[in-house]
Chain A
Amino acid sequence: MRSTFNWGHGLRLLAIVSLLAAAAFPIYWMLVTSLTPSADLFADTPHMLPDFSRIEVFEEVFREIPVATWLANSAIVATGTMVLSIALAILPAYTLSRFRFRGKGALGFTLFVTQMLPEAMLVVPLYAIFGQLALLDTLTGLILANTAFTVPVITWILKGAIDGVPIDVEEAARIDGCSRIDIVLSVVIPLVAPTLAAAGVIAFFHGWNEYVFAQTLVSSQSLQTASVGLAGFVGELSTPVHSVMAVGLIYTLPAVALYLVAQRYVVAGMTAGSVKG
């Protein structure tokens, strides 16, 4: 055992480490860049290690740029999108999974088709509609627009998970006195909780990262989301690269943190033990 090197194992480890490095390097580089003075940025020998003596850059951006407002707006939009998407998707998903009705196939297909329309194409009509509904320049409008995009995909994801809930368990609940809505709330939702967490992450990130709608449907400075704010402060005449990187890092970290929290719930095997497999 000890003398023979396990090649398969070694290669797998190498692959995993390279992938991790590839994924983590940009974040690391953002950190390094944000801590590098602008003058040194284009030096021939780049700094490879972060210079923590310049950590006050992060304080600076909060003072000089409305980063806090941007992040708060992004958080509102992302959380709103997440909650609303899941609330709106769960019943259609249950229906698609459990009921037979006329036009079910067409409905499922239509949900798919909505995924093929690019956001950019919908901006103009949405702008017109939102104008009529007084939703322009509100975070509510932004949440609604994002939710419209996430609901179909989340419906499909949840339908897949609900398909995996044994029908016997639902019937047992019916015998025990549950109504349909009781079944969905006390049996189905707990059993698809891992998928629900995954779907929540997807919706949250969509809201967090979304740019096109946030740029067009909202115009007030005070309602800008981080994606728009960040983009707006690149360019013009000069780009304060280290500030951009610092804000970028701040923008990325909450998302990473949320993902780390959520992924603990995204575990398989919730239905284990219910029925003989």
Chain B
Amino acid sequence: MAAITLKNVTKTWGHVSAVSDINLDVPDGEFLVLLGPSGCGKSTLLRMLAGLETVSNGEIHLDDRRVDGLPPSARDMAFVFQSYALYPHMTVRRNITFPLIMRRHRWWFHIPIVGHLAKRAIERSPEVKDLVDRTAKVLALTEMLDRHPRTLSGGQRQRVALGRAMVRQPEVFLMDEPLSNLDAKLRTSMRAEITKLHREVGGTFVYVTHDQVEAMTMGTMIALMRKGVVQQFGRPRDIYTNPANTYVARFIGTPPMNLIKARIEEGQLKVGEAAFALPAHLSGISDEGRAEVLLGLRPESLTISPVGGAGTLAGEVGLVEHIGAESLVSVKLAHAETAHEEEEQEQSGVMATTPGYSELKVGDRIAVGVNLSDAVFFSTRTGERLTAKVPQLETVR
């Protein structure tokens, strides 16, 4: 049982601060994904958890035990590296057994022949051998136990790295982008494997990735980071439906949430020249009395039709991408502006998904229907999500 609590955890290198003032409460048994773009401090945070990096400030607790300050081996956490970091001079079996050997290590194990025999005795002792054999079986490594890492494929090496973490039966598994060196197909299957591992082995997992699909599919909780600051911490579904700010909205989802400049006037939502009735969950919301808001709409809330009408936005097809089961259509709106900051172009279009193979051509004039039932509002000034005065009940649980 291990709940992880981070209190004001901060890491600075000289004047650069890689991780600023992070507070997270991760209950036991959760699969937390640290998500964020390159350089946002995910690895640094994970390495501080592991004890590979000192904290500049703040506290890390494992249940009631304060662990920042303890060496890595005293924290009961296993770490899976992006690079696998196997011991190249040891067989797969010895790689997996190594943490168990180190538990019973004595200084004289370094004496050449005697030490060799002692380590082999541990490796062959029934309880160790059983555990290693069972682990190897779970990971389908039984056939490879006597081989060296250099003779294994990337996926097999990754499984050895997982095995080395598993045999320790730790309370916490830490993984730093363990799948990023694998090809897309293997990544999908290893993703399922790690999720299964979490279900079967238990323990608290902290998993670093910059891939939001991995985060959404694997995590039971996600902490989305940017420049060393946690932008949002919650359940994947919450983060998807109720992004805390425009950054989260644009980071999660492929394609990401559309942000359209809109105004609230006389109880109506105006986008360009079109006016919409405000749905119940959005009524009464405003940015401190200002009319301007950013309307956040997931691509699946937009429908494309050839003819316009009330409650639609006129536009022109900018790009069509066929993915197979559905098509992604980028639409340049005629009378409304988007607020997608990260794109290079000054004015990028909104993205809509349509089922099947779309016959639309670039330049087609179309109308975009809008379903506001899942829409959210963001402040044009701060980018924070605007909520009704009565706070919604969506804290983590």
Contacts and interface: CB of A to CB of B under 8 A. Distances in A.
Contact of A177 (B103, B150, B152): B103
Given A174-B52, A175-B50, A175-B72, A274 B110 contact: no
A273 B148 contact: yes
Q: How large is the interface on B (under 10, 10 to 19, 20 to 34, 35 or more residues)?
A: 20 to 34
A100 interface: no
A274 B72 CA distance: 21
A66 interface: no
Q: For A193, A269, A274, which residue has the most chain B Cβ atoms within 10 angstroms?
A: A274
A274 B87 contact: yes
A274 B81 contact: no
A175 B105 contact: no
Interface string B56-86: 0000000000000001110001110101111
B151 interface: yes
B72 A174 contact: yes
B50 to A, nearest CB: 6
Contact of A175 (B52, B88, B152, B157): B52
Interface string B358-386: 00000000000000000000000000000
Interface in A5-62: none
B88 A178 contact: no
Contacts of A269: 150
A71 to B, nearest CB: 27
Interface in A192-221: 193
A171 B81 contact: yes
Interface in A242-277: 269-276
Contact of B85 (A171, A177, A182, A190): A171
Interface in A107-157: none
Q: For A166, A168, A177, which residue has the most chain B Cβ atoms within 10 angstroms?
A: A177
B210 to A, nearest CB: 17
B73 A273 contact: no
B89 interface: yes
A176 B73 contact: yes
Contacts of B72: 174-175
B181 A276 contact: yes
A3 B105 CA distance: 64
29 contacts: A166-B83, A169-B88, A171-B85, A172-B79, A172-B81, A172-B164, A173-B98, A174-B52, A174-B72, A174-B73, A175-B78, A176-B168, A177-B99, A177-B102, A177-B103, A178-B73, A178-B105, A182-B102, A190-B89, A191-B88, A270-B89, A271-B88, A272-B88, A273-B152, A274-B86, A274-B87, A276-B83, A276-B154, A276-B157
Given A191-B89, A276-B157, 6 more contacts: A172-B79, A172-B85, A173-B87, A175-B99, A177-B102, A275-B85
